[in-house]
Every structure is written in C-alpha cells, then in structure tokens.
Structure 1
C-alpha cells in the first residue's frame, strides 16, 4: 500500500526572499521549525505521515494533501543528495511543523532544469502527523504497525466520502437523481439525439473536478485557460471518442452516458466505487468522488468492419517529478 501512496506532484515554489529565521543545512537547504515537539528525530527507515502544502513564487497554492484528507505516507530513505527535502524532514519529530526550502540549482547541478521550474527554491510547508520508528523492530512487527496506521487512514477516508459528496450536492443546490449503483446525475441541457448503448461510440467533452471544486482536467482548452490549468502540449483539447463498454473506462461514465441523449449536457457525480476505488489513480487519491461536467457531442453506431476505439485516459495531465 505504501508504494501507492506517494508524494503529491511537486512544482517549483518559493516564499519571500528574506530568509530570516531559517537555519542553513548542506546543499543550500533552509529550514524553519515553526512548532517543535520533544521526541526523537526522524531517521532513515522510519515510517512517516506528513501533510504538505505547496506554493508558487507568487505565494499561490499549487497543491495540498489537505484537499483529500490523505497525508503523504512512506518509509523514509536516506537523502539522495545534499540539501534535498529528506535532509530537512530528518530534522523533525512527530508533531513538528516546518517550512523547508530546497535550493533548486543545488539539486539540479550539472543537469538542466525541468521545463517550467522557476524561482530559487522548492518550498515545503510540512506538518509531521505520525512517525513509526523502525529502530530494532523486526520487519514483520514494523510493517504490521505501518499497515495498521495506513488502514485507519483509509477507513476514515472511506467513511467520509459520502459525507463530502452529499455536502457538495447541498452546497451547490444540485437537483440530482441517484441510480441503484450510487451514481448521481443531473441533465442540465436536454439533447434531441439518440441515447448510446453498449458498443456505440460516444464523442464527449468533459471537465473533471473534485468535491473541493478543484479542476483536475478538461478536454476544452478555453476551460483550461479560464481555470489556469497547466496547458498540456500532449492534450489535443478536443472531444474524446470511445465505445461504451470499452475495457478500462470507469463504470460511472459507461452508466452515466447511457442516460443521456446526443446533444445533452449533464453533471455526473461518480463515487469512487464507480471510479478508481481504494487504489486511486495519478492525482486522484483513494476513495475520491469525481465530478464531471459532460457534453455528449455525438453517438456513432458501430461499424462491424471497423476496429473498436480504445478507452482514452481521463488523467492526461502530465505528472511532475516526485520529491527528491
């Protein structure tokens, strides 16, 4: 499980240029412990659960573990380079909070910067939620404690998912219909075309967001620009095509699209049981409900002599490199 629960994607971020209050470490590392609890420092081999908030040079939030209620959880390895964020994390104890500033040039020395990585620092605003020390514990005992903690976190996420989804419906005053499977949908514009059936190819525009309101992806470039999403050069920003019942497409899409006529617009509220479940996928954490604004552009009956279109990825945004 821990291998699936990795750091959120990271981007170049920086706080104010003043470094007052920060201590210096190797490789240009700066760290400022805001809350300091008594306890042993994190060591290589320990399991940690951290909540993180990431910001841009302009102090705007890029991402946060608080959005889905799932902290970063992993067994800490030795730092890969002087001045990397692990070096800063190993200055902390359970209950500590800190700002860690990693010098980008020190980490990328001898290598070109990744495209779009600006500023002097990567900055991590961190709260250490839990530390399980490896110490002299056997692997079996240590892994048992680690898994028990992870299971408790996942159980809490599972229980909170319907609460969050119902709150989204109430807050946005949606007049939704619930199907037997648990899918919520609202037809916002009724089309006059045919409804798709299994095997039909659908042509669809979509925008994907979380119950927090954060937009993750869209097939419409104007929506990406409007919501200040990173423009993905690999994304053609045009309606996607796939056959209903194609292996690999989430169940909520197959069911929801068959409730729509061609030309219709709808909002699909898809619980994780009809999406990516307890595993999650890419930017989507375990037990995460998905909100789709859908336009069913067209429905095409199958040509028995034509190859079936493959299921497209609904997670086309490029992933930024994980923390080093």
Structure 2
C-alpha cells in the first residue's frame, strides 16, 4: 500500500468538480452496501465477464491519501459476480455502477484492505479505522479490448521506467564520483556506469557467459555499513552471522544469465580467476527504486568487495 499525503483542499476540490451543485444520491447495492452517487454519465452497465478500469482514491480519517490512481494507475477488474462477492463491500459497489459513475463510500480498513484487496493492514492502521473511498468507473472492455489495454499499460510502464532510469543514471554518477573523491579512490568505469577497481590481479581465466562462477563478497552501503557477506568472519564482526548459512562458502551462479544484479554480471565478467576487486554499482544496475530488504533503500548505490575464487 502506498501512502501519498495530500491536503484536504485537494479532496474538497475533487468533490466539488464531481458533484457540482447537486446533492449526492444515497444508493445501495443488491448486497445492501450503501454508497453515494456523486456524478453519472448514464453510461453502460457492466455485465458478467466484462472487464472494467476504475479510478480509485482512498482517504483515512486524517484526510491523508492512502491510494490514488493518479499515482498507482487504474484498478482493473474482471466482472465476475461470484468472485467479487467474496471480496466484500467495495467490490460489490464497483461491479454495479455504470461507466462514468463517480461514487463515495466509507468502509472499515479491514473491509477495504484485508478482505477487498487481500493485503495486510499497515502497522499504523487498525481494522476498524474508517476509510473513505472515491471511485469512478472509467472504461468497459471485452476480453480482446482488455488485453490491448494491458499491453498499452505495460508499454507505458516500460517507457516510464526507462526515463526514470536515465534520470537516475546522472544522479548516481554524481554520487559515485563524490564518493570516489572523498575516499581518494581511482576507479575505472564501463559504458553502463559501473565503476570498479581491481585490487589484486589473478592469473586464471576470465569466465564466459553461462559458466558457473564462485565469488566471495562483502556488500556495503556508501556509508560503510556491511549488509551481506559470504565470509563467516566478516558476518560475525558485523552482527550478520546466521547459522543457517553454515558452512559459509563462496556464492555460485551462472554468469550472464540474470541470476544476480546487473552490476554483478558485468563486474565479475571483467575479472580473472584469483582477482580481487571493488565494484561501485549504481542503483539502476542494482536494486533500483524498489531497494531490497531492510538495509538497501530505493535508488541505493552499492559497494562490493569481491574475489573470483573459481569458474566451473
């Protein structure tokens, strides 16, 4: 669940635009769920096996916006009465309104999230907290039309991610160059934006795509915090020891097959067996805007001290 803060004035302005001068009409679904019809275009009704896309905005009792389709995209739904009935009050409303209808309803947090969206409540939310939901039925599709819409959304998402990655590339480059300057590190770089320092040259072969490599590593944030390692002593020194990883050993993976982050696939391929190196990996070659686990935040630049132990 994403938590986007908006002020009350924005919510009120949306209501004013939707309602105009008319008083909202109080209605009930066939399942007895009450809601207010804010506006209607007298559009088509949904029937069994239709697909619909819905604009959704959810606001808590403090006027904080919890979910907004302007941020996360439209909610797609297949109109299947039996399955939607199991998802509770909100979906009972959505399957019965018509294209162009805008509604408002107030439901419990458990009804909306636990039952409706089948996801746990956030730590700061109680099951009985009141959630105000604003929804508009935007489009109606048959199966072929919905598949075309999905393809269009996927393409838009790819283009958005590419633009964000390109913008992040410049940000990460500045961060890395500042890190290198502050730590007096002279590093080489690749066309992709990976920076690396070979600290000890090995005399073995370089791995070829598809071969299984064995790598010892220590993963760190730019502030020096160690978040992962294949070396037992390092794990113990940094309160990362986990007996389930016994016996600690080099990480094995097929290189060039996307089994590890891109910065690893590229960086390890630069090394001969026996080489040691430091890889400074920009976020778009690591875990990107999602981050990973509790230590690696969104768009985090990572540092790995690695040793290519062997190749199979």
TM-score normalised by length of structure 2: 0.50
In structure 1, which of residues 256, 268, 273 is the aligned counterpart of residue 283 of structure 2? 268
Please say if residues 101 and 124 of structure 1, whose CA atoms lie closer than 8 Å, have aligned partners that are also in contact.
yes
- SS of structure 1 residue aligned to 2:162: helix
- SS of structure 1 residue aligned to 2:41: coil
* Aligned-partner Cα distance in 2 for 1:122–1:164: 32
Comparing both chains, which one has the higher relative contact order based on Cα–Cα distances under 8 Å and sequence gaps of 6 or more? 1
Q: CA deviation at 1:293?
A: 2.6
In structure 1, which of residues 46, 59, 81 is the aligned counterpart of residue 50 of structure 2? 46
2:40 is aligned to 36
In structure 1, which of residues 69, 74, 79 is the aligned counterpart of residue 77 of structure 2? 74
Q: CA deviation at 1:199?
A: 0.7
> What are the within-5 Å matches in structure 2 for residues 132-147 of structure 1?
132=141, 142-147=142-147
In structure 1, which of residues 295, 309, 312 is the aligned counterpart of residue 303 of structure 2? 295
1:136 is aligned to none
- SS of structure 2 residue aligned to 1:37: coil
Please say if residues 53 and 63 of structure 1, whose CA atoms lie closer than 8 Å, have aligned partners that are also in contact.
yes
> What are the within-5 Å matches in structure 2 for residues 80-99 of structure 1?
80-81=85-86, 83-99=88-104
Q: CA deviation at 1:254?
A: 3.7
Q: CA deviation at 1:248?
A: 6.4
In our comparison, the structure showing a higher alpha carbon Rg is: 2
- SS of structure 2 residue aligned to 1:200: strand
- SS of structure 1 residue aligned to 2:44: coil
* Aligned-partner Cα distance in 2 for 1:266–1:25: 55
Structure 2 runs not aligned, ≥5 long: 9-22, 177-188, 229-241, 293-297
2:265 is aligned to 255
How many residues get paired?
Answer: 230
Structure 1 runs not aligned, ≥5 long: 1-8, 133-141, 208-218, 222-234, 284-289, 305-324
In structure 2, which of residues 137, 153, 167 is the aligned counterpart of residue 128 of structure 1? 137
Please give the per-residue CA displacement for 1:10-41, whole angstroms capped at 9, x wherever unaligned: 89xxx99xxx9694646785544555333023
* Aligned-partner Cα distance in 2 for 1:82–1:268: 38
- SS of structure 2 residue aligned to 1:199: strand
- SS of structure 1 residue aligned to 2:153: helix
Q: CA deviation at 1:87?
A: 1.2
Please give the per-residue CA displacement for 1:84-115, whole angstroms capped at 9, x wherever unaligned: 22112134333444444333566889xxx957
TM-score normalised by length of structure 1: 0.49
The change in CA–CA distance for 1:34 and 1:301 in structure 2 (over 3 A counts) is farther
1:156 is aligned to 156
The change in CA–CA distance for 1:302 and 1:169 in structure 2 (over 3 A counts) is closer
The change in CA–CA distance for 1:83 and 1:71 in structure 2 (over 3 A counts) is closer
Please say if residues 267 and 294 of structure 1, whose CA atoms lie closer than 8 Å, have aligned partners that are also in contact.
yes
* Aligned-partner Cα distance in 1 for 2:95–2:46: 5
